[in-house]
Amino acid sequence: MNIAMLGSGFIGRFYADSLQGYRSKDKIVSIYSRKEESTKKFAKDYNVGFTTTNMEAAINRPDVEVVCISLPNNLHEEAVMLCCKHKKAVMTTKPLGRNAAEAKRMLEAVEKAGIFNGYLEDLVYTPKFLKAIESVKNGALGRILWAKSRETHPGPHSDWFWDIEQAGGGCILDLGCHCVEITRSYIGKDIKPIEVMCWADTQVKPIDAEDHAIGLVKYENGSIAQFEVSWTFRGGLDLRDEVMGTEGTIWTNNFLRTGFEMFTTGKAANYVSEKAESDKGWLFPVGDELNELGYNHMFMDMFQSLEQKRQPKETFYDGYIVNAVLDAAYKSAKTKQWEPVALDVWRGKSGYTKDSHLQEYDAENYLVKEEVTHYGAKKVILKNKKTGKIIEKVLD
β-strands 2-6, 248-253: how paired? unpaired
Tens-place pLDDT, residues 260-295 = 888 888 776 676 776 677 778 888 888 888 899 999
Model-wide pTM > 0.85: yes
Read off φ and ψ for residue 238, nearest 5 degrees.
-110, 110
Pairwise pLDDT comparison (188 vs 359), residue with the higher score: 188
Lowest mean pLDDT of 130-144, 233-247, 319-333, 366-380, name the range: 366-380
Of 180, 314, 183, 299, the closest CA to residue 244 belongs to: 183
Pairwise pLDDT comparison (287 vs 31), residue with the higher score: 31
Q: What is the pLDDT of residue 256?
A: 84
Looking at every residue in the chain, the average pLDDT score rounds to: 94
Are the beta carbons of 383 and 357 closer than 8 angstroms?
no
- The domains of the chain, with CATH numbers, are 2-121 (3.40.50.720), 124-293+308-340 (3.30.360.10), 359-395 (no CATH)
Are the beta carbons of 65 and 3 closer than 8 angstroms?
yes
Angle at which helices 127-137 and 171-187 cross, to 10°: 40
Lowest mean pLDDT of 132-136, 277-281, 310-314, name the range: 277-281
Tens-place pLDDT, residues 323-348 = 999 999 999 999 999 999 999 999 99
Tens-place pLDDT, residues 82-98 = 999 999 999 999 999 99
Neighbours of 289 (CB within 10 A): 18
Of 272, 276, 206, the closest CA to residue 237 belongs to: 276
- The span from the CA of 271 to the CA of 256, in Å, is 15
Lowest mean pLDDT of 62-66, 269-273, 302-306, name the range: 269-273
Are the beta carbons of 183 and 227 closer than 8 angstroms?
yes
- The span from the CA of 236 to the CA of 226, in Å, is 21
